[in-house]
Amino acid sequence: MKENEKPEKGNQIIEEAAQAEYKYGFVTDIETEVIPKGLDEDVVRRISALKGEPEWLLEFRLKAYRYWLTLKAPTWGHVHVPEIDYQDISYYAAPRQKKAGEKKEIDPELKKTFDKLGIPLEEQLRLSGMAVDAVMDSVSVKTTYRERLAELGVIFCSISEAVKDYPDLVRKYLGKVVPYTDNFYAALNSAVFSDGSFVYIPKGVRCPMELSTYFRINAAQTGQFERTLIVADDDAYVSYLEGCTAPMRDENQLHAAIVEIIVEDRAEVKYSTVQNWYPGDKDGKGGIYNLVTKRGLCRGDHSKLSWTQVETGSAITWKYPSCVLKGDHSVGEFYSVALTNNWQEADTGTKMIHLGKNSTSTIVSKGISAGHSQNSYRGMVKIAPKATGCRNFTQCDSLLLSDTSGAHTFPVIEVGNDTSVVEHEATTSKINEDQIFYCNQRGIPTEDAVGLIVNGYAKEVMSKLPMEFAVEAQKLLSISLEGSVG
Amino acid sequence: MLIIKDLQASIEDKQILKGINLTVKPGEVHAIMGPNGSGKSTLSAVLTGNPAYTVTGGSVEFYGKDLLALSPEDRAHEGLFLSFQYPVEIPGVSMVNFMRTALNEKRKYFGQEPLSAADFLKLMREKRSIVQLDNKLASRAVNEGFSGGEKKRNEIFQMAMLEPKLSILDETDSGLDIDALRIVASGVNTLKSKENATIVITHYQRLLDYIKPDFVHVLYKGRIVMSAGPELALELEDKGYDWIKEQVDSQQ
């Protein structure tokens, strides 16, 4: 970042912070095809049929569904997920585009929605090279820059299209990192997943632009079950971004996604998330349940996977973007800022599973709790007996902004040999009155001072985000703190 | 510009200020001296609105306004500046971002447009030189990893940026070596004008060799017990505070 860009931003952020609370809470008035509520094998078959899927994928879904029936929702998280009536949710909602059939043209109402979210879908309007896959409810609405990327052999499309156009690739990788047997929500997702993005970067290609998927929930009483699959072949590189918002509603909505990433020899994937699902109102009414399984497999030697997440949204967050470091000298990173306010609950962290020799991992987690919220870091660092010479560094900080919020840490460390080194540092602090007064004395009001201090606290993580996202994320932190200081 | 009448204040029910009277006019430099625990820093904290202290009596008028009724940030906007004895560190917040925010808040208060990035950086360069603060320091996080001397220079740099009408320097000389002291003092003297005023809170005469006061006040047990010209500071340096303490204590 250049020196002269920083103050510009600082100021914007504060301007924004002074304004409204959740500004993505609108609903798009568009005709939506929603299948009736409820879940059984017929519904799974119907979703598969609606998407025109091959037999093998239907089989995959059905196996997952049958397995899911045998499972119970996990209760070990430090969150209170109420009993969800899975028969009271609709599992497929597709905005009906007026010009169906003509793929190039997008419904003006949808275009307007994404414009409003700051995601213009016309390629010429994009400020910088960033390709976008826009997903509304259960379907991908539009993917930009596909052709240009295709010239390099990069595949970037919705997973539904990938199933049709690149069935062998999808079949080769789908469910290999997160099998449907992984956990309750992963099984559910595998049975009913709708859309999401598919990325394939061929050998030796450095993807020239950021790829991003923007997830939007619009329809009421539906769940979103997206599925993303990213494959970076030998020596490839890609930076991928994910953003999400939803309307403000009094009832809770379920979002249970799976992200799988495969990184081959010497390849590198950067995965960044700014999660801003509707968090519920200040009394804890409504909001998204964000119950997500994200995992990457660093299969190749010298491969690298880096997760960066800024979590400010959702009533409940339950997610642990993880790295399985199978390749020798592979590298896993997890940088996280999780901010909870009002009655939000977040239980998030990572797993670093070291299987390859000399693999290294870094975990930097910054939790910020305000209001009555509960914020937990849960992490596992596991070094297999044969994985010699591994290193992990974990830094886990919590910042409390109120007396009524909670910060919790649940680290697990298992080291299977004596040539590996694991370091864990943790701090918990309260926001410092002296810092606030110092800002006040220089003319900065308390609310803005808190925004500054919190952004400073999170800077180490924010600096890992791609530039455009970093600005967004900084604003978001300030906005999410609205009214948190009395 | 500043009229303090019978100001009383406490912290956690402990009465610290027991009736301060002081008038400051533009162009003046006032030194407030006194033994440890006499209430010097409390006075600066109360004037700037530190919420840890409770005002229990008296009044403070600043350019005709009731200073005590204003929020700390509005007091700053009105032209009150405190150079802290112990400037806090704000990790991750760059000085550039911090100062820009502060300056633009002030501009907003007076209905002015925010300063453009280019103008702001130009201003920073200009003001930085007053206290010989190098560019790297200004782009680092607020006070983070600064040496004692750098922190104090940084305070005077902020003072230069915000152009206050009344600056309170709270023990600015503490922890400074002689070179840093010279730089800080020369910065303060450069910023001095007929329109602004300075209150120098200090323990020792040393700083007053560099920043010449017009008035010297001795604060003891929450009251100003003696006021005189600059010669008083020299006398205190020579004789210490004991003779004043005895004088005051015997009167009680």
Helix (H) or strand (E) segment spanning residue A156: strand A155-158
> B127 in helix, strand or coil?
helix
Put simply, the answer to whether B102 touches A444 (Cβ < 8 Å) is: yes
By the CB < 8 Å criterion, does B120 face chain A?
Answer: yes
From the list A335, A396, A347, the residue with the least C-alpha distance to A375 is A347
| Strand-pair category, A258-263 with A227-232 | parallel
CATH number of the domain where residue B147 is located: 3.40.50.300
What is the chain B residue with the closest CA to A3?
B139
Q: Which residues of B touch A11 (CB under 8 A)?
A: 100-101, 104, 114
CB-based contact B120 A455, cutoff 8 Å = no
Q: What is the DSSP letter of B191?
A: H
pLDDT reported for residue A411: 94
- Look over chain B and give the mean of its residue pLDDT values, rounded to a whole number: 92
pLDDT at A129: 62
Of A432, A445, A459, the CB nearest to B88: A432
Residue indicated by tokens 């700083």: B207
What is the structure's pLDDT at B176?
86
CA dihedral A279, A336, A228, A114 (to 10 degrees): 50
Q: How far is A485 from chain B (nearest CA, A)?
A: 14
pLDDT along chain A (486 residues), means of 10: 36 36 70 83 92 94 96 90 88 68 62 70 56 72 78 91 94 95 95 91 92 77 87 96 73 88 97 85 86 96 96 90 97 94 92 97 94 93 97 94 90 96 91 92 93 89 80 74 61
Tell whether A456 is within 8 A of chain B (Cβ).
yes
Sketch the domain layout of chain A as residue ranges: 3-480
Å between A469 CA and nearest CA of chain B: 18
Distance from CA of B19 to the nearest CA of A (A): 24
The per-residue pLDDT for B7 is 97
The distance of A441 to chain B (nearest Cα, Å) reads 6
CA B8/CA A219 separation, integer angstroms: 62
Chain B residues with CB under 8 Å of A3 CB are: 96, 121, 139
Q: Scan residues 78-107 of B and list those with Cβ closer than 8 Å to A.
A: 81-82, 84, 87-88, 90-94, 96-106
Which alpha helices (DSSP H) does A70-201 contain, by range? 108-116, 146-150, 159-165, 167-173, 184-192
Which of A1, A8, A434, A442 is the best mutation test for B, with the most CBs of B within 10 A? Answer: A442
Number of domains chain B contains: 1
Higher-pLDDT residue of B252, A2? B252
Residue linked to tokens 């602004």: B196
Q: pTM value?
A: 0.83
| Beta strand spans in chain B (E) | 2-11, 14-24, 29-33, 54-62, 65-66, 80-83, 90-94, 141-142, 166-170, 197-201, 215-220, 223-228
B81 interaction partners in chain A (CB closer than 8 Å)? 441
Sole residue written with tokens 């960066």: A308
Q: Tell me how close the Cα of B203 comes to any Cα of chain A, in angstroms.
A: 23
Give the C-alpha separation, A12 to A34, whole Å.
40
Q: How many helices, marked H, and strands, marked E, lie in chain A?
A: 12, 23
**Cβ B105–A445 below 8 Å, yes or no?**
yes
* pLDDT attached to residue A43: 93
User: Could B100 and A442 be called an inter-chain contact, meaning their C-beta atoms sit closer than 8 Å?
Assistant: no
Q: Using the beta-carbon criterion (under 8 Å), do B118 and A4 form an inter-chain contact? A: yes
**Residues in CB range of A279: below 8 A, 6 or more apart:** A22, A287, A288, A312, A313, A314, A315, A341, A342, A344, A480
- A residues 147-186 lying closer than 8 A (beta carbon) to B: none
Q: Please report residues of A whose CB lies closer than 8 A to that of B94.
A: 6
B104: which chain A residues are within 8 Å (Cβ-Cβ)?
11
Question: What is the model's pLDDT at position A19?
Answer: 35
Contact yes or no for B51 and A445 at CB 8 A: no
Query: pLDDT, tens digit, for every residue of B199-222?
Result: 999 988 888 999 999 999 999 999
- pLDDT, residue A345, reads 92
Q: Across the interface, do A7 and B90 touch by the CB < 8 Å criterion?
A: no
Give pLDDT, residue A3. Answer: 36
- pLDDT mean over B154-178: 93
Q: Across the interface, which of B72, B103, B139 has its CB nearest the CB of A440?
A: B72
Tokens coding B103: 């300056």
Q: Distance from B60 to chain A by nearest Cα, in Å?
A: 17
Answer yes or no: do B92 and A440 touch at CB < 8 A: no
- Residue B57, both tokens: 């009596």
For B8, the domain range is 2-251
What pLDDT, in 10s, does the model give residues B49-91?
999 999 999 999 999 999 999 999 999 999 999 999 999 999 9
Q: Which of B51, B102, B118 is the closest to A442 by Cβ?
A: B102
Residue B147 pLDDT greater than 50, yes or no: yes
